[in-house]
Amino acid sequence: MNDRDERSAEDLTRSADKAHRCACLAQRELFSLIAEVDRRSLWRDSGARDMAHWLWMRYGISHWKACRWIVAAHALEHLPLTAKAFSSGRLGIDKVVELTRFATAEDETDLIRWAENASCAAIRHKGDVAGRQSIDEARAVDESRTVSWWYYDEGKRFGLEADLPAPQGAVVARALDRLARRIPVMPGEEDEFFIAARRADALVALASVRISQDPDLDRATVVLHASVDALASADRGVEIEGGGVAHAETARRLACDARLQTVIEDGAGDPITLGRTRREPTAWMVRQLRYRDHGCTFPGCGSRLFTHAHHIVWWDRGGRTDLDNLILVCTFHHRLVHEYGWSVKRDRDGTMRWFHPNGKRYRAGPAPPASELQRQPELSVASF
């Protein structure tokens, strides 16, 4: 055991405090040099774009931190008491960087006293609120707003990235969170852990509403390219024009109420037939459908939120866009049909019968007597 291991807790604490003061003094000197290097533009001809680039390349810090250090370095030249508190270790580098965003020579005495006992997060928040932001800075933030997307994972996934000014971002976040709380929960996603998945559903719901109302039919149409072999296969995908692929079942669900055109191609990629872009019901049909069904027709559901017009006999299996071949279903039960293997059938008298993926009829509430079940044999999914 060496001498360092035998030192008391009090000795170790004093040594740590001394090292902290030395580090702060060295950092204060570094900040003075940063201000001078920047003032003399010594970063030029060094392969750097600007002073921040020079800093993060030379000392391996993040671009965000480099920008903050430069601002703090110049601010300390006009904040003598804050600079002294930094040099002595009274305030550490993180607190100094945040404090210099809004401190002035007139109020730094009180701010130093407050910052000693405040957390870095509290000082940062005060800087966010009271920071000196010019109109040029605000315009620069606004002008840098971006949204970009890309397909990846062999076209099966869609990536989306947004960089927005804080006020606009807050609007987007609030809209998605509000809608996500009302999105029906999919099986196995009941836990709050899956809120991000429901936000994704909310984003799709918002976009679906917008594209369905677009008056420009051609530009708002999503085009799917499907080969004859793909349509005959249970595990092959269809191509989305513009990038990406989709499973056939997912494409069928989207086709129920999306503005969609299907191009069926032979083995050489030549179109065989063009699907109808007007596969979705007209506005008056949707109004009549909502009047007739009132809400989701799944037994016991009745939800009126996020409902869709679903073809009982699917469009690509010869189904018609007529009222007697349409029912209203909510997003949750629409997915059960297309991606979870459930099915539905309408009897001649208008009665809707829903079936589990194994072909067993679904019944809401208690099961009927056995004698009644014998009179109503179950239908398999394949029978319709």
Which residues make beta-bridge pairs with 77? none
Strands 352-355 and 343-346: antiparallel
Give the pLDDT of residue 275: 36
The DSSP call for residue 358 is T
In the chain, the DSSP E strands lie at 146-152, 157-163, 222-227, 237-240, 245-247, 260-265, 271-274, 307-311, 326-330, 343-346, 352-355, 361-362
pLDDT along the chain (384 residues), means of 10: 68 93 96 95 80 87 90 95 95 94 92 93 85 66 85 84 88 90 80 86 83 61 62 63 68 59 55 47 76 82 81 78 84 85 85 88 66 47 30
CA–CA dist 340, 249 (Å, integer): 9
Tell me which residue has tokens 């090292």. 19
Structure-token pair, residue 364: 């809401």
Q: Which helix (H) or strand (E) holds 339?
A: helix 331-339
Give the pLDDT of residue 306: 79
Which amino acid, 377? P
Structure-token pair, residue 52: 């921040």
* Residue 183 exposure: Cα atoms within 13 Å on the Cβ side: 26
Q: Which helix (H) or strand (E) holds 311?
A: strand 307-311
Give the pLDDT of residue 379: 37
| 260 close to 279: Cβ distance less than 8 angstroms | yes
Does the predicted model carry a pTM greater than 0.75? no
Residue 37: count of CB within 10 angstroms of its CB: 17
Strands 271-274 and 260-265: antiparallel
Give the pLDDT of residue 272: 44
CA–CA dist 335, 249 (Å, integer): 10
* 234-260 residues labelled b (16+ CB within 10 A) or e (exposed): eeebbbbeeebbbbbeebbbbbbbbbb
| 94 close to 120: Cβ distance less than 8 angstroms | yes
Give the pLDDT of residue 67: 92
CA–CA dist 119, 2 (Å, integer): 36
CA–CA dist 60, 71 (Å, integer): 18
Give the pLDDT of residue 279: 65
Give the pLDDT of residue 3: 55
Give the pLDDT of residue 116: 92
Residue-by-residue DSSP string for 34-60: HHHHHHTTTTTTTT-SSHHHHHHHHH-
Which residues make beta-bridge pairs with 158? 151
| 299 close to 354: Cβ distance less than 8 angstroms | yes
CA–CA dist 131, 281 (Å, integer): 54
Structure-token pair, residue 373: 């079940």
Q: Which helix (H) or strand (E) holds 353?
A: strand 352-355
In angstroms and rounded to an integer, the radius of gyration of the C-alpha atoms of the chain is 32
CA–CA dist 169, 163 (Å, integer): 8
